[in-house]
Each structure stands twice: as structure tokens, then as C-alpha cells.
Amino acid sequence: MASPTSTAGFCSNTGDEPLDDYNSILATTRLAGIEFPSHWDGTTLVSASTPRAVQLELTKKLQFLPWTASGSFPFAGIRYLRTLQESMDLPELNLLYALELLHLPGVTTTLTELEAYLSSVHDKQVDAHPLLFLAMGRWTSDVAYVKLFVLKYPSARDTWLTADEMRALSPASPAPTWSPTDPSQLWRALVDAEHVRSPAMESLLGMIGIAKVKRAAIQLFQSARARKKMSLAMQKKNPLSLNFCFVGGAGTGKTTVARLFATLLYESGHRPKDVFVEVSAQLLLDQTIDVFRKRAASAKDGVLFIDEAFDLDPDRDVKGRAIVSELITLAEKYRNNLTIILAGYEDEMETKLFGFNSGLKSRFQLIPFDAMNEAELHAVWDLQLQARGWTAPPELATIVSKRLAMRAHSKDFGNARSVRKEVEAATMSAMARPTFDGAKLVLRVDDVIGDHPLHNPTLERVLGELEGKIGWTSIKKSVHDLVQHCEKNYKRQLSGQAPLPLMLNRLFLGNPGTGKTSCAALYGRILKELHLLSSGDVVLKTASDLIGHYSGETQTKTQACLEMARGKVLVIDEAYNLDNSRYGKQALDVLVEKIQNTGYDDMAVLLLGYEDKMLAMLRDQNPGLARRFPRDAAFVFDDYSPVELLQLLQYACTRNEIGCSADAMEAALVELERQKRLAHFGNAGAVNALVQQAMVKATRRDGPIVLLAADFVRDDVASPDMDADPLQLLDGLYRMDDIKSRLRSLRNAMQVADAEGSPRPELGHFVFRGSPGTGKTTVARAVATILYQLDLLAVDHVEETSGLGLTGEYLGQTKKRVAEKLDAANGGVLFIDEAYALGDKWYGQEAMTTLVAAMTDPAYSGLVIVIAGYPADMDRMLDRNVGLKSRFTQFFDFPDWATADCMAFLRATIARDNYIASEDVLECIEGHLDAVRRLPGWGNGRDVKQLWNAVLTARADRIVGRPADVEKTIEVDDVDTAFTAMIAARTPVSLSDARAEIAPVQTPGSMPPPPAMRPTETTRKQDAPEPAKTDDGDAFRQNDDIQRDAGVSDADWAELEAAKMVHAAYLAGRQQELDAEALRLELAKAAAVQERIRRLCPCPAGFAWFKVAGGWRCAGGGHYVTDAQLTAQFTC
């Protein structure tokens, strides 16, 4: 080959190769015929034509370079090489890319990159880069390429070769002939040195595994030999504790070894007799302590073996406590002539037995029985097949041992017992074959791993059933992925590889009626046919089946359920209920402890429930629960789509052998879509209930049962009230023209969309801006009825609350209150009056945040929220929370009532209720209304109704006890009495400027003469001065000081007070003319105080506030604000 035209750090090969070994080795490799440079500086990576900046970046970022720091980002070099390959045609980049991939842990597939580089070397007839030797060696694991590299470039050996490559080049060391830890070699050495003989020891050495146990047994002989060399006095000074505790999993041979230990103690000379007394802890608990003492006495000079000793549980069992106390006595008092061996699982022995008394553990030598490894499981398989007279292909032992080794660290792993179960299952499968020949007992691969997943007819039938189910799109895909996973594992096992782990335990998330329980049954059958479960049946439980009523019962019940589910699918429905109590947490802890989700536990646990509640449980409970039931592997059961609901409807009709017209199906779907807007829609259950209800109606007709549209119409929809126009509710209100128009437009848009078969416009949520009494609540009810008639709401219901009503007083109360109101309103309308209170303080913000979250929560998709309040306050609140504002799409403004609107309402009311009011009365009402409307806290229609009721009350007081009037007449006195009371309640007596807002009802020139005053027994303290001779302000204040004379009737005093108010208004007008600027400032200050108080604690009735001792109280008396609260909130 020609040398490269330009090199850096390379010298072309111009002569003979340095070593004959190099040529002979090269000729046997894939690199035969390729030329390499004779010299290399050990650092150059690319040709000299490459920009220096690129070369420097390569030396910094490539990870396989020996000088690269180990903490660098592993893919930095690969990313940089990708960038270079897009812009440069440099063959060495492929080689460097291959070396980078080979540097990553576990990556060996770099054939594409190396082939590309080799092709480039051949095509361009250039020398190959020296690092090609290392790339080929690392890819093929062939040390010959590494030898070629060292022979060609010996100076680069120490820099470029890894530790493994260095060891591969070193001469192979001979295998050691002696191992100080090999039990067989230790025993042979002892036999040769001491000429000991022990058949029991030979039997123990013949057992597979348990190396630590065998070394402990050999120590018995070593210690016995040493003690023989000691004097009796020294033996007494150095006593031996020959009590043992065997800890290990099931099937490790603890009981077998205990029997051998009895013989070993005798054969070694530690005990004078070969005595072995075996008993279980449970049997001891069923007997008396005296029986236990007799058993211990019968084991004298030998061994007392107590299996599953942790069942003594002295903390909880009184009998167990007595036995443990006796054990401590026996172990100490009879240590020279009695050996006690306890056996059990390590964790249980520590927690249930040794934790009770620390002195107990110190009296026993712990001997661990390790779980069998893959090689030992392989050997057990071979021995058990041989003992049964069966033969099998060699790969079966590999498949079984690898599969079982994956479970070696789980608590329920049975070691040799698990191998025996595999042998029994495989032989049963072989004997069930129609072609079984009893003369030749031969296992096949499918006896162990079953049929190929894609060639299993039973599995195909079950999968066909799954595909035939309505809906379940995501579940079908998940099951398909599971089958593909099992197919890959099938191929891996055939090639001698361990199967990849599987997650059989899953969350089933969804609303009721989505088929979770039905799917669980199919899931079990599928797992059985995939040979992941031995039975596949379903054990159905609820959360209450796992929870106990006293300490310890929950663990017992949960463990019993798990044992019952061996080989099956354990379904725990409504599992989120385990999140609600201490005992429920204990049940979850047991689940975390007992299940591992390896895919080979012969059990699948399914937790069923609503998605939000289940995920909350995973967040709040034992973190191990989320690892065993990962959200990503959950089966999510979506609500059925409209098409799927129709399919379910048709299926229900077919099953019940009834007909269903097209119109009926449309009506049924409308009703189902309405129900779907409620939380936790019943899905298939809702369809079945709807069909059952329709069938009841259809049976009232003669002839075959055919469901009609009317059968699916709700009774409340079919009632005459539903035909009424809900906008008629607004006829009694005023200034509603714009709102009525917008509601009609909303209704028209929905109806046109339905008629044209188009999607309905987005409804959104509503903001009502207006003062009290303008009809916001009434309009909210009308909106609910309209949306209900249009099937946009599931229920015609308005849940009313206020901003303050949603805010709590302590941590957690706000969220609870909001949730309660949301649930109560779900499917209808949630009306929040004075919603601006949600923008104040921390708890209000918490309520607002909860509302915003609910607006995007699918559980509340059928809820319409209406917030209402004063325009300015509502705008401020929404401007502070852009997220909240964006979710409200309908803004309705409610203007205040004018005097004409109030009079129109009263005229209509008077006419409707058949009262008579003269024009003088109506003019008096109108005059008073002009005054009252300017008072603080005007409540529009609400106040008009309150005033009318006050007029009727005054009339009743006037005519009570008199002969009944033929006509129901309203008089001026009735009106004056009613309005005087409201004016007095609304006028802040502590603020003189508030009276200035009350315009005189009548001018002084048009005022009628004051009514005659009856003489009194007392005289006034001071005659009222003439206005012309006294300052207007003094007269105003003197009127305040005048006391009621004795004997003045309530009616006369009320009439007088009204006259005083008229006069005060007149004087206020005079004062305003004399000192307008000063009065304006005082009024502004008073109004500011009223506004601050209203923002701090709004009065629903809109009453004014009055200064009282220590604070302020509204005119109605029901609301109070302290001076401290006002000062803390605002700085005046």
C-alpha cells in the first residue's frame, strides 16, 4: 500500500517489519494485507491536514484516551465526532468513533464504524492508524491484536493498554492447587494430618453450596483436636459455646444440616451421644413449659433443634416469652452437655427473637446459609433429574438456573425447593403430552419455558377476547408490548441468556365502569399462558379486607391474602382507601415488603382505583410502593368515547334482546354525555343503568320492546317546567336588556352548533360585575337553567357561597372548604359572591389557587364557576392573577338601578298585590328614593324590596286593631316611617359630613307645616334658636342633643325625626355653600374610612359603618371591625 501523503507523528513503513512474530500473527487476523506506519509518536490521532484546533478538541473530549479524566461527560467525544462527521471527510473519525463506543460499558457492537474505516483504508490505499489494532482487539476480545500493537509500537504499550490488556499479555499463572477457603480441601488436609473419619462430614460436603456451613462443621473437628491437646484445667478455663443459630432462606438445607450436626458433634467428640430432638416453635407454643423442659432433658448429651424459632415471638406471645427465658437458662447452665440449634429466616430471627433479649443472641453462634448461585442451582437441577430418571437437553439446566438465580435474593426463594418445583412442573408438562412415551423420560425445551408466545393457540384466543373489548386502546397496546417482551425473553433463554425482568404488579387507574375488574381476569389468563403465573385465577379483595381492627391484625390479614394469591392475580379494589388510616399504611408496608416485581414471583398484585387518589397515595406512602407500582407501567382506563358508549349501548340492547331506534340512541347519548360531565362517570355501569330505566318505560307499551327516544328522556326534562323560557326569571329585574341579549346569543350559538352537527363553542366561566341587588344571583340561576336545558350542565343547581365563605381560619381549612363547595356544585354552577375577598391575605390566595387548579381538573370539567362583586374590586383581583383571569371568558356588567327603575318596580308590585297608592304617595316615595340612593351601601333592587316590606310593616302598625279597610291603601305616613328607618340606619351618626350627602326631600318653601306637638309634662332644656340668629352648625348640633319628651308616641317621634332629617339636609346644603372646600375634604376622608372598612369586612347588605367603642359596626349590627384591625390593614 502507498503511504499517506501527509502525516504527523507517523513514519511510513519503508523497510522490513521489525519482528517475524509480528508478520506471522498479522497473517492470521482480519488485518492481513493492511500496512501500518513503522513509527508513531503515541499521541497523533488524525492526519496533519486536520486543523490544529480540531486536534486539540479531540484530545480534550475523547473518553477512550488514557489521559482523559474519569469524571468527564461520557458522550462528549461522541457528540463532537458526530459534529465533525457532518462537515469533514476524515476516515480516522470512524475509527475514533468505534473506540469511543467500545469505551462505554457493555457496548460491543461497533461493526459499522470499523467496517467503514477498513473500507476507507482499502479504497484510498493508505496506511492504517495504529489504534486500529486496539479497536479490533477490544471489539473481538482477541489478544492477538493487542500483541500486534505491542510488537509494532512497544514504546506505546504502557500508555495505551488497559489493565485487562496488560494482564492478557502476561504469561498465564498456573491455577492454585490449594485454597484456604475450599471446604473440601480443608477437610482433606485435616483427614491427612489427623487421620479423622466422619461419614456425616462426607455427607455434608456432598451437599451443594453452603460453603460457610461446611467450614463451620470442619471447625468442630479442629476445635476438638485442639482441646485434646489441652489439660482439663485449661479446658475449663476455655469453654466452648456449641449452640448455633442457622439463618437462611427456604430450601437451603437447614433441617438436614441440623441432623448432620448432631452426628458431627458426636463424631468429633464434643458430645458423648448422637442424640437429635427436633421440634418446631409453633408446637412448643401449643404445649406447656413443662413439656418443653422434658424435651430439652431428652436431648441431653446431644442436640435440641427448634425450627422456625422466630415464631416464639416473645414480645407478643406470653408462652413464647417463657420458652425464651428457659432457653437462656438451658444455654448457660447446660452448655457442656447440650447443644441447642435454632433455625429460621435471618430478618425474622433478628426482629422477633433476638430483639427481645440481647443476651440470647450472644449465646448462639450464627451460621448463615447463603442462597444458591447459578452454578449451584444448575447442579441441583441435574441431580434431581438424575434421581428421577429423566434426561434433558443441556440448555434446560442453563435456562432454569438463570431464571431462578434472578430470584435468589427474594424472601420467598426456595433454593433447592424451587428447583424441585421446576423439575416437577417440567415433568408434569412432559407427561401431559399426547406423544409421551413412558419408556423414554425426556424433557423438551417447551416443557420448561412453554410454547413460543406467538405460537400458543390458547394465548391467541385470550388476546382475541382482549381485542374484542370495546375501548381499552392503551391497555391493548400495553398487553401487546408485554407479549413482545416475553417473546424476546423466550429467545434469550433459548440462547442461554437470562430473561429480562418483567413488571407484573400494576396500577389499574380509571373511573367506575371502565372494565378494570374484567381486564384483571383477562390479565391473569394472559400471564398464565405466558408461563408467568402458575394458575392465573383472580383473587378479588377490597382495601377493607386487608385492614384489621387491632395491632398486628392488618399484617396477618395482608400476608394471608398474599399467600392465597400464590400463582394468581391479587386484585385490591379501591386501594386508595389504604391511604386513610394507620392500619392501611401497615397493609401497604406489608405489600412493599413481600412483593418485588421481578416478574418471576408467581403472583401479580393489581391496585385499582381513581387515578388522582391512587397517585396521591403513591406520593404520601412508603416510597417503595411507587417503585413496585410505577405510574409509567400503569393500565389507564379512559372514559369511553361517544362512539364507544354507543357500542356499549348496542351491546346492552343485544344482550337483553331488545330493539333500539336511531332516535333513541341519539337521546341516550345526549343523556350519557350529560352524566359524563359529573365526577367519576359510571361508563359501562351508566349505560346499563340507563338501558334498564328505559326498559321499564318501554314495558308499559304493548308489543315487542323497542326503545324509543322518549324512554331515555329524564322525567324532569319532560316536565312542562322545562319548556318555560328561563329568561323569564329576569322579567322582574331592570336594566337586563344587554344581559338577556347575551344569554340569548349564548343559547343560540349552542343550538345552531347542535343543529349543524358542529362542535359546541367553548363555554368557559363567568364574571358578574355589579353592585348588590342588581340581580347577579338571579341571573346565575337563569344561566344554570339555560345551560341545563342545553345539556351543557348535568344538574340544574346553583351552589351559592362567598369569597369569605371559602377562606379558612387555620392551615388546611381553606382547601377543605373550597373542595366541599366544588363537590357540591359539580355538574352545575358554583356562584361566588364578593369573590374579590379571595385576593386578600394568604388564605384567600390559597382558595384562589385551589379554584384555578379545579378549572383544569378533569374531575370538574362539568362545572361552571361564576364569580361576582363590585366592578373595581373584581377587576383588581383578576388583574393580580393572570392565570385566573384567562379562564373566565364571559363578562357580564350589572348597572345600578336608577330612581325610575325603582319606581317601575314598586308600581308593578303595588298593582300586582292590589294595593292603592295615590300620586302624592308615589311622589313621596320617589323623593325619598332620590335621597336614599345617595346614601352609602345602596342595594338597588334588594333595598327596594326591603323598603316595600318596611312600608307594608308601617301600614300594618297603622291599621292594626282598626276596622278592616275595604281597599288596601298606602299612605304618606307609611312611606315616611319606612324611609326614615332606613335613612337613620344608613346615615353614619359619627360623621357629620355624611348628612351633607342627603339632599332635602322638600325645599323649605314647599314644606308643609310641621305637625302640632302635644303638650308635655316636662320642658325642654333649651328652646331651639331661630336659624336666622344662630350659626347653622350650632343649630345642627343642638338638634342632635334634643331628647325625646315623655309621652311622645313612636309615630309622632318618627315623624319628627323625619322632619329633623329634612332640615338637617337643608342646613348641610347651606354649609356646603359657605365652606365647600373644607367640607369636600372632610367628606373625602369619611368616604375613605368607609371604603377601607368595606374592603376589610364587606357587609353583604351594603350598610354604612358607625364608630362605636373600640371599633366600627355596620348599621345592621351584624358586622364589627376593631380599630386595631383597621390600623393593621391600612395606614390612614
Same domain, residue pair 528 and 618:
yes
Q: Please tell me the total number of residues recorded for the chain in this structure.
A: 1132
Cα torsion 439, 445, 447, 448: sign: positive
pLDDT in tens, 1047-1064: 666 656 666 666 666 566
CATH code: domain of residue 695: 1.10.8.60
- The CA-based angle 309-314-320, given to 5 degrees, is 65
Residues 443 and 478 in one domain: no
H helical segments located in 933-971: 941-959
Please tell me whether residues 246 and 365 are part of one structural domain. Answer: yes
> What's residue 989's pLDDT?
53
Half-sphere exposure of 195 (CA within 13 A, CB side): 0
Tell whether 146 and 190 lie within a shared domain: no
599 and 697 part of one domain: no
Distance CA 826, CA 564 (A): 41
Contacts of 190 (CB under 8 A, 6+ apart): 196, 218, 221, 222
992 in a structural domain: no
CATH number, domain with residue 393: 1.10.8
Question: Do 754 and 704 belong together in one domain?
Answer: no
Instruction: Kindly list the distances between the CA atom of residue 473 and the CA atoms of 107, 262, 511, 682, 683, in Å, as whole numbers in the listed order.
Output: 36, 63, 16, 18, 15
Pairing type for strands 604-609 and 569-573 reads parallel
Query: What are the C-alpha distances in Å from 463 to residues 460, 647, 1027?
Result: 5, 20, 103
The verdict on residue 973 lying in a domain is no
Whether 151 and 243 map to the same domain: the answer is: no
* pLDDT on residue 233: 87
Strands (E), 963-1055: 969-970
Could you say which of 863, 893, 923 is where a domain stops? 893
Q: 244 — alpha (psi -120 to 50), left (phi > 0) or beta?
A: beta
Query: Distance between terminal CA atoms of the chain?
Result: 97
Which of residues 869, 893, 917 is at a domain's end? 893
Same domain, 668 and 742: no
According to the model, what pLDDT value does residue 547 have? 92
Nearest to 634 by CA among 623, 626, 643: 626
Q: Would you say residue 649 lies in a domain? A: yes
Contacts of 930 (CB under 8 A, 6+ apart): 899, 999, 1001
Range of the domain at 209: 183-370
Q: Is residue 245 part of a domain?
A: yes
What's CA 596's distance to the chain center, in Å?
Answer: 20
**How many C-beta atoms surround the C-beta of residue 530 within 10 A?**
25
Neighbour-count burial of 701, counting CB atoms closer than 10 A to its CB (0-12 exposed, 13-18 middle, 19+ buried): exposed
Kindly report, residue by residue over 578-595, the tens digit of the pLDDT. 988 888 999 999 999 888
Q: Are 101 and 67 in contact (CB under 8 A)?
A: no
- Residue 862 confidence (pLDDT): 85
Q: Are residues 321 and 231 in the same domain?
A: yes
Where among 846, 873, 893 does a domain terminate? 893
Rg (CA), the chain: 47
pLDDT of the residue at 847: 85
- Identify whether residues 546 and 592 lie together within a single domain: yes
Residues in the chain with pLDDT < 70? 1-20, 70-71, 106-110, 171-179, 716-724, 732, 839-841, 964-965, 988-1085, 1100-1102, 1109, 1116, 1118, 1124, 1127-1132
- Does residue 548 lie within any of the structural domains? yes
CATH no. for residue 754? 3.40.50.300
Taken in order 234, 236, 237, 243, the sign of the CA dihedral is: positive
Q: How many helices (H) and strands (E) does the chain have?
A: 50, 24
**Rounded CA separation 81/61 (Å):** 9
- Whether residues 713 and 737 fall in one domain: no
Nearest to 834 by CA among 1120, 1111, 1102, 1106: 1102
Residue 14 belongs to some domain of the structure: no
Q: In what order do the strands lie in the sheet with 1120-1122?
A: 1105-1108, 1111-1114, 1120-1122
Q: Is residue 1085 part of a domain?
A: no
* Relative orientation angle of helices 553-564 and 582-594, to the nearest 10 degrees: 40
Examine the domain organization and report whether 465 and 546 are in the same domain: yes
Give dist(CA 759, CA 753) in Å, integer: 6
Number of domains in the chain: 7
Q: Let me know if residue 1049 belongs to a domain.
A: no
